[in-house]
């Protein structure tokens, strides 16, 4: 993670942002037993009081599941667990166990109450990995605004926040990772007041018996989604929206993703397809440097 900020209060803003990021990770980590998410995952349906941004994040993730059924589901945790993605050495899951946990992969089973509590039934477990970084990027931007920082570039790993422009007034340069070559860039974007979020199977995967299994799941089958995409990069103002889209459109595949873009037109995207083709939505050319 890299945080760079410029101008008045920049050092103090970076210090506070780091603290805030550490705190968000401690509350939303799916592997820390003391996180708010772990407490919810062990709550057996008893309503649990959570901090207001945790409530907000869960609410956004549930709405995303309603918007992208069959593609996005924040209750994917039991599937990730069975595949061993929270350990160093992932493994093929037991079929029977996988079919069993799939019954509880359903975001509509999580209930948000008006008093700020959340109910997660026994067996249902949250993993906010597909939205947490984008949401955190938005919170860092809020913090910088409050502190009067107008120029910053932060890289949260797959999620880049470009706040304002460079101190000299020119755009920030953001390189988009090439999904097939770890040391190469696909392209460079000149952006200001933008988040650039990338999802791809290449980020985390395991090879078992010569076949690669990546970490973005089809919530209907419990297997890594059979996408025709290698990566999806989203350009949006909202980091949260970008993070939701990068994951959901990756699972949906290229045709459905393009259809969604044509209907909404409130983001831009760069797709790398498995056949090596690179496809960009119409507005990307306004940002493309090379």
| Site residues (vs Mg ion, CB under 5 A) | 130, 243, 246-247
**Considering beta carbons, is residue 58 or 130 the nearer one to Mg ion?**
130
Using the minimum distance from each CB to Mg ion, give the nearer residue, 41 or 236: 236
Q: Are 56 and 136 in contact (CB under 8 A)?
A: no
81 counts as binding ligand AMP under rule CB under 6 A? no
Q: Minimal distance in Å, beta carbon 107 to ligand AMP?
A: 9
- State which residue has the least CB distance to ligand AMP: 129
- Nearest to ligand AMP of 74, 78 (CB atom): 74
CB of 155 or CB of 165, closer to ligand AMP: 155
Residues 8, 3: Cα–Cα separation, whole Å: 15
CB of 178 to ligand AMP, least distance (A): 16
Smallest separation (angstroms) from ligand AMP to the CB of 74: 5
The C-alpha atoms of residue 184 and residue 199 are separated, in whole angstroms, by 16
- Residue 80 binds which of ligand AMP, Mg ion, none (CB < 5-8 A, kind-dependent): ligand AMP
Q: How many CA atoms lie within 13 A of 42 on its CB side?
A: 9
Of Mg ion, ligand AMP, none, which one does residue 164 interact with (CB within 5 to 8 Å by kind)? none
Nearer to Mg ion, 151 or 247 (CB): 247
- Which of positions 128-167 make contact with ligand AMP (CB under 6 A)? 129-130, 158
Find the helix packing angle between 132-146 and 10-28, rounded to 10°.
150
For ligand AMP, which is the closer residue by CB, 41 or 247? Answer: 247
CB of 64 to Mg ion, least distance (A): 9
Binds ligand AMP by CB under 6 A, chosen from 127, 136, 222, 231: 127
Q: Does 27 bind ligand AMP (CB under 6 A)?
A: no
Rounded least distance, CB 240 to ligand AMP, Å: 11
Q: Which of residues 204-223 bind ligand AMP (CB under 6 A)?
A: 215-217, 219
Q: Are 158 and 199 in contact (CB under 8 A)?
A: yes
The item of ligand AMP, Mg ion, none sharing an interface with residue 238, based on CB under 5 to 8 Å by kind, is none
The first and second tokens of residue 264, run together, are: 């909404």
Strand order from edge to edge, sheet including 48-49: 48-49, 117-119, 111-112
* Contacting ligand AMP within 33-52 (CB under 6 A): none
Binding site for ligand AMP (CB under 6 A): 72-74, 76, 80, 127, 129-130, 158, 199, 215-217, 219, 243, 246-247, 251
């Amino acid at each position: 993670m890299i945080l760079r900020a410029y101008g008045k209060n920049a050092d103090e803003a970076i210090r506070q942002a780091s603290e805030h990021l550490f705190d968000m990770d401690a509350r939303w980590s799916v592997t820390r037993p003391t996180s708010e998410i772990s407490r919810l995952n062990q709550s057996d349906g008893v309503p649990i009081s959570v901090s207001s941004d945790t409530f907000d994040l869960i609410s956004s993730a549930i709405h995303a599941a309603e918007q992208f059924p069959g593609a996005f589901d924040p209750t994917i945790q039991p599937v990730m667990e069975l595949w061993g993605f929270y350990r160093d050495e992932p493994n093929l899951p037991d079929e029977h166990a996988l079919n069993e946990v799939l019954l509880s992969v359903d975001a509509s089973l999580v209930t948000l109450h008006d008093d700020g509590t959340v109910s997660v039934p026994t067996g249902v477990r949250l993993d906010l990995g597909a939205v947490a970084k984008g949401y955190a990027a938005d919170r860092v931007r809020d913090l910088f605004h409050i502190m009067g920082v107008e120029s910053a570039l932060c890289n949260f790993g797959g999620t880049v926040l470009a706040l304002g422009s460079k101190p000299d007034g020119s755009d920030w340069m953001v390189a988009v990772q090439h999904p097939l070559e770890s040391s190469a860039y696909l392209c460079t974007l000149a952006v200001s007041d933008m988040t650039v979020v990338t999802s791809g199977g290449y980020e985390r995967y395991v090879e078992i018996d010569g076949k690669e299994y990546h970490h973005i799941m089809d919530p209907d089958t419990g297997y890594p989604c059979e996408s025709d995409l290698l990566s999806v990069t989203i350009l949006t103002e909202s980091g949260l929206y970008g993070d939701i889209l990068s994951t959901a459109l990756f699972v949906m595949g290229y045709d459905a993703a393009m259809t969604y873009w044509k209907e909404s037109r409130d983001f831009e995207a760069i797709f790398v397809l498995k056949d090596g083709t690179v496809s960009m939505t119409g507005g990307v050319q306004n940002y493309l440097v090379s």
